């Protein structure tokens, strides 16, 4: 039976894979901005207008000429004549001269002649037509100047950014109710293995249901791709080649979960390698789970072979499948991955020279979160469903002791 | 002009709000499991079968009777006769007696009589019909026993769990290709303010575009709700009441972003209070942004009044809107919120007694991430679009000094 003779360190595997992926320019489509969550901007967004379009009050109060308030204090207030109230949603029909003021609400447009706003808390009404100003303000105080948020011609959002609610708010603020985004990549998914049957069937002895086609579909959707399932393929060179060729022709990338035995994995690598140049770049990575991973680029198209074991396939997808989707999506703005800080509850052993990802369950204690590692065997999918996240053991550690502070990536 | 006289601490506000929300049992629907990402399980999932359904090999190797390997070592191997190879996807047609073994692949079904597997790495082929076993194994070694992952009758996933890829994998493993989930709640969204216009229009002087209807729609979608937009309503009691009443009747909860001035906010609170009992529970919270928040429960239905300022509305939605959606979704399994650890780059001042959320931009350095606070003015939406996340300043701090370690919640 064949062995893995040349396991590659993870960083080397990622590097050789990325170096062989050609520059990719996704096609684009225009969608409603309100439906564009998590879509990736195709072009830089440049504002054609100023935001806000006029100088607005940031508070409820009185619009003033700053010089009229100089020296004003609680003991020695300035007295200003109220000549009007700024209507919301309209330009004030009046202007202000020295000695005058107008009532203004938050968001209201400053009347001509005024340059600041005194907060209502710093005033006192003498009578309906006069207000005592008890604090001096400088020009610009308590206002948002026209163009202070965005000026015309300013680039506000870069191409390659995955849109979040705040970005969508920005697009809407500029009146951009449609937005050009990169197409979602089509990711072909193939399950191989003679023991695998569709999940709606009852397995006979020796058979198990196809999990990977579905869990990987969900993962692809979650990260902004369109999964295309090609079903289950028998472990023969002809069947694998036919299915892989079709998925390769119809999709932007292909994931195949190889049968779990070593000979089947080698068969998969052989067939993948024939799809194009340079072919298989990585076959075997020094990580657990995920050792039998295949990374290939065939005439510019990424092909990923994942372990048949559904726990491994899902855990390791974060390392190989997610970056591939991001590459095809044209993601250029990369944000840090948030984690949960937790203390390891018990010793976890590992092999020096190998990177490990271990599922953990998080437990809330008075001292913060404790991470209980879940020791998993291949194919026990509910070990993963019970977990909250994954802990990482670096290659230079022979394990981690209890009490170690971890950064858990949530599942 | 009216003031906030009774600002409530955030924890008190959340408590009185939650205490007044009645137990909620969502209606349910059945969906395809592969489309059920982020949907919430309506019922506990109980397995009717064992997983795996038969004892499987966890490695490539030789199926053995453990006693045949006792004392075996590299220097003194045990010799076993190879009587067959376990076919993938089928029950082996043979059984094994003392002195015999069979080739088995990862995932293969153990032949009758065998109780362990010797890894291929620990064997050497003498000839085609005999193998040297160089390591002793105990019963169960390198196997996954029938039912070891799940036994029949076992509860595997609890009602109220929001489904992740690993949970979907578990459901598929059990053959559950459909799943009963809680209905997505309908969240009504109303924008009020005489200065607000639809985003596809060009604002005249004094007007600004409606951002909140859209940014909150996206936020509601993101967290598993269905947004229902009721558009822009004028700041009059009649208009507000008509619009609020319709949204209240048609939705499971209503969010209204009040006009930004104090008088408008008070009008909103007054109208909300008339929708049902107990009515407005909180009007004014000791946080920044979000001070003018209104929390109400009217005859069992949650109504949330958010600040008109779109930066505040979005930042503060995580505190009030997201838990409301989770309540309506029937979420019972709450997982920790992951964050990014970062060092504060500069002093940020705050007011003792008030909790603050400040947008930050994260910068990658040799010492980890630095958080640069973005000092924002109300309504400057691109201050939020430039941010990666939010930092938190607790009520007992008058600010935070440079170097402080923060846990940044990503936007």
CATH number for the domain formed by residue range(s) B56-144 = 2.170.190.11
Contact B410 A335 (CB under 8 A): yes
Q: Which CATH number among 2.40.340.10, 1.10.10.10, 1.10.1060.10, 3.40.50.920 corresponds to the domain B340-410?
A: 2.40.340.10
How many angstroms separate the CA of residue B172 from the nearest CA in chain A?
Answer: 6
**A116: exposed, middle or buried (Cβ count in 10 Å: 0-12, 13-18, 19+):** buried
Check if the beta carbon of residue B292 is closer than 8 Å to that of residue B284: yes
Q: How, if at all, do strands B253-257 and B186-192 pair? A: parallel
Q: Residue B264: list chain A partners with CB under 8 A.
A: 105
pLDDT recorded at residue A4: 57
Residue ranges of alpha helices (H) inside A112-195 are 165-173
pTM of the model: 0.95
What does each C-alpha distance from B68 to A93, B105, B125 come to in angstroms? 101, 20, 16
What does each C-alpha distance from A96 to A53, A113, B79, B261, B304 come to in angstroms? 20, 5, 105, 22, 38
Distance CA A120, CA A57 (A): 12
Contact B377 A150 (CB under 8 A): no
Give the tens place of pLDDT for each residue, A244-276: 999 999 999 999 998 767 788 889 999 999 999
Residue B305 C-alpha from the chain's centroid: 24
pLDDT recorded at residue A249: 98
Check if the beta carbon of residue B386 is closer than 8 Å to that of residue B360: no
Check if the beta carbon of residue A17 is closer than 8 Å to that of residue A282: yes
Check if the beta carbon of residue B387 is closer than 8 Å to that of residue B359: yes
Distance CA A348, CA B59 (A): 22
How many angstroms separate the CA of residue A299 from the nearest CA in chain B?
Answer: 31
CATH number for the domain formed by residue range(s) A10-26+183-329 = 3.40.980.10
Rg of chain B over Cα atoms, rounded to whole angstroms, equals 31
Q: Does A372 touch chain B if contact means CB atoms closer than 8 Å?
A: no
pLDDT recorded at residue B160: 98
Q: Where in chain A is the domain with CATH 3.40.980.10?
A: 10-26+183-329
Distance CA A374, CA A360 (A): 5
Give the tens place of pLDDT for each residue, A73-102: 999 999 999 999 999 999 999 999 999 999
Tokens matching residue A55: 């100088």
pLDDT recorded at residue A260: 67
Contact B169 A60 (CB under 8 A): no
Interface of A with B in 375-394 (CB under 8 A): 377-385, 387-389
Check if the beta carbon of residue B310 is closer than 8 Å to that of residue B212: yes
Q: Which CATH number among 1.10.10.60, 3.40.50.150, 3.90.105.10, 3.30.1330.10 corresponds to the domain A30-51+153-182?
A: 3.90.105.10
Contact B107 A260 (CB under 8 A): yes
Check if the beta carbon of residue A274 is closer than 8 Å to that of residue A242: no
pLDDT recorded at residue B4: 57
CA angle A339–A344–A345, rounded 5-degree value: 140
Q: Where in chain A is the domain with CATH 2.170.190.11?
A: 56-144
Q: Does B337 touch chain A if contact means CB atoms closer than 8 Å?
A: yes
Contact B172 A53 (CB under 8 A): no
pLDDT recorded at residue A5: 58
Q: Residue B378: list chain A partners with CB under 8 A.
A: 58, 106, 144
Q: How, if at all, do strands A389-393 and A355-365 pair? A: antiparallel
Check if the beta carbon of residue B160 is closer than 8 Å to that of residue B174: no
**Where are the extended beta strands (E) located within A162-290?**
178-182, 186-192, 196-197, 208-209, 226-233, 253-257, 278-283, 287-288
- Tell me which of A107, A122, A141, A157 to substitute to probe the interface with B (most B C-beta atoms closer than 10 Å): A107
DSSP track, B182-249: EPPPEEEEEEE-TTEE-TTSPP-TT-EE--HHHHHHHHHHHTT-EEEEEEEE-SSHHHHHHHHHHHHH
Distance CA A80, CA A57 (A): 18
Q: Residue A410: list chain B partners with CB under 8 A.
A: 335-336, 338
Q: Where in chain B is the domain with CATH 3.40.980.10?
A: 10-26+184-329
Strand partners, B295: B282, B304
What does each C-alpha distance from A393 to A287, A288, A364 come to in angstroms? 10, 10, 22
Check if the beta carbon of residue B122 is closer than 8 Å to that of residue B133: yes
Q: Residue B34: list chain A partners with CB under 8 A.
A: 214, 217-218
Distance CA B289, CA B257 (A): 14
Tokens matching residue B86: 């376990």
CA angle A376–A372–B342, rounded 5-degree value: 115
DSSP track, A257-276: EPPSSHHHHHHHHHHHHTTS
Distance CA B288, CA A202 (A): 57
Check if the beta carbon of residue A379 is closer than 8 Å to that of residue B58: yes
pLDDT recorded at residue B6: 78
pLDDT recorded at residue A1: 43
Distance CA A207, CA A333 (A): 44
Give buried/exposed letters for A145-174 (b at 16+ CB in 10 A, else e).
ebbbbbeeebebbebbbbbbbbbbbbbbbb
pLDDT recorded at residue A47: 97
pLDDT recorded at residue A166: 97
| Residue of chain B nearest A55, judged by CA positions | B206
CATH number for the domain formed by residue range(s) B10-26+184-329 = 3.40.980.10
Residue range A171-175: mean pLDDT, rounded: 97
Helix (H) or strand (E) holding B272: helix B262-273
By Cβ distance, the residue of B56, B193, B217 closest to A88 is B193
| C-alpha torsion angle, residues B165, A385, A7, A306 (rounded to 10) | -40
**Which pLDDT band, with edges at 50, 70 and 90, does A343 fall under?**
very high
- Tell me which of B117, B191, B214 to substitute to probe the interface with A (most A C-beta atoms closer than 10 Å): B214
Distance CA A411, CA A92 (A): 55
Tokens 């109230």 appear where?
A85
**Where are the extended beta strands (E) located within B67-142?**
78-85, 100-104, 116-119, 123-127, 130-133
ipTM of model: 0.94
**Where are the extended beta strands (E) located within A326-393?**
340-344, 348-349, 355-365, 368-373, 389-393
Whether A236 has a pLDDT exceeding 70, the answer reads yes
Q: Residue B210: list chain A partners with CB under 8 A.
A: 172
Which of A333, A337, A298 lies closest to A319, judged by CA?
A337
Q: Where in chain A is the domain with CATH 3.90.105.10?
A: 30-51+153-182
- Tell me which of B37, B209, B266, B382 to substitute to probe the interface with A (most A C-beta atoms closer than 10 Å): B382
DSSP A210: -
How many angstroms separate the CA of residue B377 from the nearest CA in chain A?
Answer: 7
Q: Where in chain B is the domain with CATH 2.40.340.10?
A: 340-410
CA angle B283–B288–B289, rounded 5-degree value: 80
pLDDT recorded at residue B124: 95
| Residue of chain B nearest A108, judged by CA positions | B206
Q: Residue B410: list chain A partners with CB under 8 A.
A: 335-336, 338
Tokens 């894979």 appear where?
A17
Check if the beta carbon of residue B375 is closer than 8 Å to that of residue B346: no
Handedness of CA A90, A91, A95, A99 (dihedral sign): positive
Distance CA B216, CA B320 (A): 12
Interface of B with A in 146-205 (CB under 8 A): 148-150, 156-157, 164-170, 172-173, 175, 177, 193-197, 199-205
Domain B37-49+151-182: CATH superfamily is: Molybdopterin biosynthesis moea protein, domain 2 (3.90.105.10)
CA angle B251–B256–B258, rounded 5-degree value: 165
Q: Does B255 touch chain A if contact means CB atoms closer than 8 Å?
A: no
How many angstroms separate the CA of residue A411 from the nearest CA in chain B?
Answer: 7
Q: Residue A144: list chain B partners with CB under 8 A.
A: 377-380
Interface of A with B in 265-304 (CB under 8 A): none
Distance CA A318, CA B314 (A): 29
Contact B37 A385 (CB under 8 A): no
Distance CA B221, CA B96 (A): 58
- Termini Cα distance of chain A: 34
| Residue of chain B nearest A92, judged by CA positions | B206
| Residue of chain A nearest B202, judged by CA positions | A175
Q: Residue B340: list chain A partners with CB under 8 A.
A: 336-339
Helix (H) or strand (E) holding A56: strand A56-57
Distance CA B22, CA B13 (A): 16
Contact B196 A89 (CB under 8 A): yes
Per-residue pLDDT tens digits of chain B, which is 411 residues long = 445 557 999 999 999 999 999 999 999 999 999 999 999 999 999 999 999 999 999 999 999 999 999 999 999 999 999 999 999 999 999 999 999 999 999 899 999 999 999 999 999 998 889 999 999 999 999 999 999 999 999 999 999 999 999 999 999 999 999 999 999 999 999 999 999 999 999 999 999 999 999 999 999 999 999 999 999 999 899 999 999 999 999 999 999 998 767 788 889 999 999 999 999 999 999 999 999 999 999 999 999 999 999 999 999 999 999 999 999 999 999 999 999 999 999 999 999 999 999 999 999 999 999 999 998 777 789 999 999 999 999 999 999 999 999 999 999
């Amino acid at each position: 039976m064949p062995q893995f003779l040349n396991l590659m360190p993870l960083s080397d595997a990622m590097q050789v894979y990325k170096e062989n992926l050609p520059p990719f320019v996704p096609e684009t489509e225009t969608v409603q901005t309100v439906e564009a969550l998590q879509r990736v901007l195709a072009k830089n967004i440049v504002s054609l207008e100023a935001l806000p379009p006029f100088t607005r009050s940031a508070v409820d109060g009185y619009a003033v000429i700053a010089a009229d308030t100089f020296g004003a204090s609680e003991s020695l207030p300035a007295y200003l004549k109220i000549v009007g109230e700024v209507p919301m949603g309209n330009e004030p029909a009046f202007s202000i001269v020295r000695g005058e003021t107008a009532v203004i609400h938050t968001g209201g447009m400053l009347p001509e002649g005024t340059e600041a706003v005194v907060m209502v808390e710093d005033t006192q009404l003498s009578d309906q037509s006069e207000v005592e100003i008890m604090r001096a303000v400088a020009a610009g105080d308590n206002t948002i100047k026209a163009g202070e948020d965005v000026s015309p011609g300013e680039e506000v959002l870069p191409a390659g950014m995955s849109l979040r609610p705040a970005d969508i708010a920005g697009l809407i603020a500029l009146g951009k109710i449609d937005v050009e985004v990169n197409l979602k990549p089509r990711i072909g998914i193939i399950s191989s293995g003679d023991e695998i049957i569709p999940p709606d069937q009852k397995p006979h002895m020796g058979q198990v249901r196809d999990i990977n086609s579905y869990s990987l579909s969900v993962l692809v959707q979650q990260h902004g791709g369109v999964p295309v399932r090609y079903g289950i393929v028998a472990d023969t060179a002809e069947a694998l080649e036919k299915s892989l060729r079709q998925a390769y022709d119809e999709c932007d990338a292909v994931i195949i979960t190889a049968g779990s035995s070593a000979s089947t994995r080698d068969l998969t690598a052989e067939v993948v390698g024939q799809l194009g140049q340079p072919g298989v770049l990585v076959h075997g990575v020094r990580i657990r789970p995920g050792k039998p991973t295949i990374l290939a680029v065939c005439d510019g198209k990424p092909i990923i072979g994942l372990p048949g074991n559904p726990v491994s396939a899902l855990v390791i997808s974060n390392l190989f499948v997610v970056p591939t989707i991001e590459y095809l999506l044209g993601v250029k703005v990369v944000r840090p991955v948030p984690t949960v800080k937790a203390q390891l509850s018990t010793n976890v052993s590992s092999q020096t020279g190998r990177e490990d990802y271990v599922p953990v369950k998080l437990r809330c204690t008075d001292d913060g979160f404790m991470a209980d590692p879940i020791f998993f065997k291949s194919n026990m999918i509910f070990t993963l469903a019970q977990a909250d996240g994954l802990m990482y053991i670096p290659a230079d550690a022979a394990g981690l002791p209890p009490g170690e502070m971890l950064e858990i990536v949530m599942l």
